[in-house]
Amino acid sequence: MRASPRSTRAAPLSAPSLLQLMWLASPALPVGGFSYSEGLESAVEAGLVTKEAQAGDWLLDQLTLALARADLAVAGKAFKAWQRGDNATVAELNAWVTTTRESAELRLQTEQMGRSLVEWVKNRGVEDARVTTLAALTPAPTWPVAFALAAAQTGAPLREAMLSFCFGWAENMMQAALKAVPLGQSGGQRVLARLSAAIPDAVDHALALADSERQAFTPMLAILSAQHETQYSRLFRS
């Protein structure tokens, strides 16, 4: 007997899970994401991004060519590994993140944000042995792996968790563009709208990637990030 359309629908996301995903995506989450521009400030300094349209194009390329192929794909794999208690895969994914950062600045960011999220998870007071495993990762827990555990704790489905991961990144980068380009509030919201429209496809692409297809190869971004480390005047952390 064929299942009715109603029976094949995914269960709706519960209110507590939805609110926790919104919390994880919030710029107010105390992990310091707002303090990094991920090369954008250097792109502005180099004259590569000087107006709203260029900022939107730059961040869309970063979403599809960098985030979706690397950290977003890692977060999706780590989410499932945390769910099934596969600590070996978690450690492998964490090592992949640390060894594929293309500048000291980008490595600092993922490790600092990862450590900060560990502390946030601990302070929630939820008993979960996986948090000890996360905290013990060497040389440090990285941001996508730490986010994956926090998202898994919400009970939300994988795709919704990754939408949260992406939107949190998009909102932080929009805020960076507001300050660095600079953009007005309306311009920033238009950039965020462009990113939001592209996020679902980016998530689907990332989740479909095999381990052998995951990559972290963004030479221009790496050069700009390295230049930012010694940029004379900067708003964002290096």
Residue-wise pLDDT for 32-77, tens only, equals 999 999 999 999 999 999 999 999 999 999 999 999 999 999 999 9
Number of H helices, E strands in the chain: 12, 0
Structure token digits, residue 41:
């400030």
Query: Quick one: average pLDDT of 207-231?
Result: 93
Average pLDDT over every residue of 194-215: 97
Question: Are 21 and 153 within 8 A, CB to CB?
Answer: no
- pLDDT band at residue 230 using 50, 70 and 90 as cut-offs: confident
Examine the pLDDT at 10 and tell me if it is beyond 80: no
Identify the pLDDT of residue 11.
66
pLDDT: is 229 or 99 the higher one? Answer: 99
d(CA 183, CA 174): 9
pLDDT in tens, 163-188: 999 999 999 999 999 999 999 999 99
Separation between Cα atoms, residue 220 and residue 71, nearest integer Å: 18
Band of pLDDT at residue 4, cut at 50, 70 and 90: very low
Residue 231 pLDDT class (50, 70, 90 cuts): confident
First to last CA, the chain: 60
The answer to whether residue 6 scores a pLDDT higher than 70 is: no
Range 74-94 average pLDDT: 98
Whether residue 162 contacts residue 206, with contact meaning beta carbons closer than 8 Å, is answered with: yes
- Centre a 10 Å sphere on the Cβ of residue 85 and count the other Cβ atoms it contains: 11
Q: Say what the pTM is.
A: 0.93
pLDDT band at 2 (very low <50, low <70, confident <90, very high): very low
Report the CATH number of the 40-227 domain: 1.10.4190.10
Q: What is the mean pLDDT of residues 199-204?
A: 98
